[in-house]
Structure 1
Amino acid sequence: MFSKSKINEPGSKASEAATPSAQPTAPAPSQSDFKSSTPKAKPPASVLSSDLHISGNLKTTGDIQVEGTVEGDIRAHLLTVGETATIKGEVSADDVVINGRIVGRVRGLKVRLTSTARVEGDIIHKTIAIESGAHFEGSVQRQDDPLSGSGAATKGGAQPQPAKAAEAGGK
């Protein structure tokens, strides 16, 4: 508080604050800190346009936004499924936002089905949000670590399989 009033006062006190050369060197390391964090900045999401059809698996540590069709599994940090998108395969991401259609298992720490979502398959999640109007056929299971695919052979794999059998019997 006192330093603010000294800075606001005109005259010799403002010039006294500017004379020490130690203050301009202090911001220099913080500027280099900002430079060191810029290479670590996350690249923008990879966008798969609506006219793109992919047959095969996708794996990235970054973000993916799908607007087209993917026949295969997807692993990502953040997966956004657009309204025009169709994914046939297993989806696994830290955050999954579904606006379009997924046929297959969904694994995510945070899973969100918007009002335009259509999911046919099981959802294994830590937290989930399902908006009114979303279509969902399958089972929902909460796990503390839903991304561990190897743990699916124990508790996670045993429960979703009967739900798939029930879906197949119902169709």
Structure 2
Amino acid sequence: MFSKTRVTEPGPRTQPTPEPTEAPRSFDTTYDVPASPAAPRTRTAPSVMSSDLTVTGNIKTQGDIQIEGTVEGDIRAHQLIVGESATIRGEIVAEEVVVNGRVIGRVRGLKVRLTATARVEGDIIHKTIAIESGAHFEGSVQRQEDPLANGPTPKLAPPVATKSPEAE
């Protein structure tokens, strides 16, 4: 009525024969991947500008950049890291800005961080900011909900001199 199954049968067990495997595939990266506007942006390694390089002119990128040299112009990027040996004379606009070196000009970013070795001479417009102990900063700090907006940043009006009653 009942029959024994192979699992419960005593005796030598046979090993299943391994299936033939495919030859290893090469990592061919020449295939085309259709770009989809809804596809998330893949993070790539940042572009690095070495300390012996000087750029006169503006730099614009959709990606990340690390500056170790000198830039005489404006920089627009997704993420910008200003290295300790770097000097930037111009406006910086990026979602995330980390300053380790020297910046002479306005900094606009969603997240701005000045490390202990930072030297900034100019205004900072930010959504969030962190200034480490030891950083040197001369300028004004202004929080905005969208500091990356292209509109001009309003300047504060200079103080108006008023006559005091004692001066008459």
So what's the TM-score if we normalise by structure 2? 0.69
RMSD: 2.4
Cα distance in 1 for partners of 2:34, 2:111 equals 30
Deviation of 1:128 after TM superposition, in Å, equals 0.2
- The percent of aligned pairs where both chains have the same amino acid is 67
Structure 1 segments (4+ residues) deviating >6 Å: 35-39
Deviation of 1:158 after TM superposition, in Å, equals 2.1
So what's the TM-score if we normalise by structure 1? 0.68
Q: What are structure 2's unaligned runs of at least 5 residues? A: 1-6, 9-32, 159-168
- Residue equivalent to 2:154: 157
Q: Say whether residues 1:105 and 2:102 are aligned partners.
A: no
Deviation of 1:43 after TM superposition, in Å, equals 1.9
Deviations along 1:1-50, whole A, 9 cap, x unmatched? xxxxxxxxxx69xxxxxxxxxxxxxxxxxxxxxx9899952221000000
Deviations along 1:50-101, whole A, 9 cap, x unmatched? 0000000000110000000000000000000000000000000000000000
Q: What are structure 1's unaligned runs of at least 5 residues? A: 1-10, 13-34, 163-171
Number of residue equivalences: 125
Deviation of 1:103 after TM superposition, in Å, equals 0.1
Amino acid at match of 1:158: K
- Residue equivalent to 2:19: none
Cα distance in 2 for partners of 1:41, 1:92 equals 21
- Residue equivalent to 1:41: 42
Q: Say whether residues 1:83 and 2:80 are aligned partners.
A: no
CA separation of 1:39 and 1:136: change in aligned 2, threshold 3 A = closer
Q: If you compute each CA radius of gyration, which structure gives the higher value, 1 or 2?
A: 2
Q: Say whether residues 1:71 and 2:68 are aligned partners.
A: no
Deviation of 1:157 after TM superposition, in Å, equals 2.0
More helix by share: 1
